[in-house]
Structure 1
Amino acid sequence: MKKLSRKDIKQEVFDLYDAYAHNKLERREFMEKLSAYAVGGLSLSALTSFLMPNYADNIQVPLQDESLNTETISYSSPKGGGEIKAQLSRPADTKVKLPGIVVVHENRGLNPYIADVGRRAAKAGFVSIAPDALSPLGGYPGNDDEGREMQRKRDRNEMLEDFIAAFEYLKNHEECSGSVGVVGFCFGGWISNMMAVKVPALKAAVPFYGSQPPLEMVDQIKAPLLLHYGELDQRVNAGWPDYEKALKENNKEYMAYIYPDANHGFHNDTTPRYDEAAAKLAWERTISFFKENLG
């Protein structure tokens, strides 16, 4: 059977997956709707398998990378109770304090892709912390479907406080210079926007296709913003015009990029929504932005 590629799949299929991944469709309804596109020798199981993340074959920076010191740490959850576990990663051979980056996961906990992104940030010369907001429920369960169900059980504002606590942990870490930014993806993009509102000491925020904060809170933003959107992501992009207007009216420092023909999740290299050119460019811009604003 021919190996599927992104070009073989209609945009409607990606839109269906987006609705499913963001709890707009239950799995049964998703599968029923998806079956309409299993035609021309393409089975439903093959199509489903193609859409789901493949973590094993797409890790860019292995956990055992000897150029990094990577470990699991924990800190107290301010609102959710118990401890939040997080991956802490930094260059192994550094002799000076480094700026820090909080890496915020999607709506499914700290899966292997986001942990990998945390290590990529460390590879670029930062101390990174990648918390798992599912820690009070036992942590990322090993697959995204269960992870999404678990994350739905947590209050998103309580999770926001958990990530703000990660900022404080990193800011005061002995290997961090105290200059800290945040990057987040999907749900983490919303967290990044909200941390820009809630954390005056935040030095930079980079939301990837994240929902926007309440417009009446935009005036509270102190950190410069770098915003990444996929052109085909109608759900999240619907809020961008009003957000941009509010940023301009409040004289906020920001840069925004909309990547042509890119879907929501285009940076995630474990799914067919991945857009290699857009992802690499967005990440290069992100690292340059952090270097400029974090020192």
Structure 2
Amino acid sequence: MAEIILLHSAQGLRPGVAVAAETLRAGGHTVRTPDYYDGEVFADIESGLRKRDEVGMEELARRFRAIGGEVSGPVVFAGFSLGAYGAQLLAANHPMARGALLFHGGVTVDEVTDGAWPRHVPVQVHHSEGDPWVDEGEIAELAAAVGPGFEWFTYPGEAHLFADPDLPGYCETSAKLMWERVIAFLSRI
């Protein structure tokens, strides 16, 4: 079983993150859900992005690294949207990283590290086919950089955070399939 650090989206540490953590715990994993947004939670993406811009990406990267600094054993970094950026940053640079789960996001390798993607760190990406916040070109570049340890799954629709049961874009069928794929990924690590 894996230790998982699960990072929330720009909307903050919403109840949907707790649901996701419980889904992973039901699979036998240890899950931590740190809050890197000062306890603030937002009802919509735009408000959450204002918070992101107020804090700034440099400070967010520092906060993500501080979260990584609390890890002392093998870990899988996971995150939703903006949290996927944090998970990818940590997975690319943390010596104990054993995997990355990127939900509704992902960037090119050069956005998170000055080096190559570590070959021992597999990556799994999940997003809606028409997600306006996901750049498929960047995901394709990430796939090429990661190599054979990369898995990429798309789901019908355009909802950004389709796996969050408290948001309007929630799709139970897609969320269920996503979590099945995630549990299978974790079983191989």
TM bracket (short chain) = 0.7 to 0.9
Q: Deviations over 1:206-255 (max 9, x none)?
A: 1011141354748522211001121111441xx32344245326635201
Change (3 A) 1:161 1:125: farther
1:144 equivalent in structure 2 = 43
Unaligned 5+ residue runs, structure 1? 1-97, 173-177
Q: What SS is found at the alignment partner of 1:255?
A: strand
* TM-score between both structures, scaled by the size of structure 2: 0.82
Measured after TM superposition, the shift of residue 107 of structure 1 is 0.3
Q: What SS is found at the alignment partner of 1:203?
A: strand
Change (3 A) 1:235 1:113: closer
1:55 equivalent in structure 2 = none
1:232 equivalent in structure 2 = 130
Provide the rounded CA distance (Å) in 2 between the counterparts of 1:287 and 1:262. Answer: 24
Give the aligned residue type for 2:78: V
Change (3 A) 1:212 1:147: closer
Is the 2:27–2:183 Cα contact (8 Å) retained in structure 1? yes
Is the 1:215–1:243 Cα contact (8 Å) retained in structure 2? no
2:87 equivalent in structure 1 = 192
Q: Deviations over 1:139-178 (max 9, x none)?
A: 125x435655444321223223323332342x33xxxxx2
Matching of residues 124-135 of structure 1 within 5 Å: 124-135=27-38
Change (3 A) 1:221 1:105: same
Q: Deviations over 1:17-42 (max 9, x none)?
A: xxxxxxxxxxxxxxxxxxxxxxxxxx
* 2:137 counterpart of 1:241: yes
- Give the structure, 1 or 2, with the largest relative contact order (CA under 8 Å, sep 6 or more): 2
* TM-score between both structures, scaled by the size of structure 1: 0.55
**Aligned residue pairs: how many?**
184
Q: Deviations over 1:25-68 (max 9, x none)?
A: xxxxxxxxxxxxxxxxxxxxxxxxxxxxxxxxxxxxxxxxxxxx
Unaligned 5+ residue runs, structure 2? none
1:256 equivalent in structure 2 = 152
Q: What SS is found at the alignment partner of 1:241?
A: helix
* 2:154 counterpart of 1:154: no
Q: RMSD value over aligned CA atoms?
A: 2.5
Measured after TM superposition, the shift of residue 102 of structure 1 is 0.5
Q: Deviations over 1:164-215 (max 9, x none)?
A: 332342x33xxxxx22101111111222222222224210001011141354
Greater Cα radius of gyration, structure 1 or 2 = 1
Is the 2:108–2:138 Cα contact (8 Å) retained in structure 1? no
What percentage of residue pairs aligned between the two structures are identical? 25
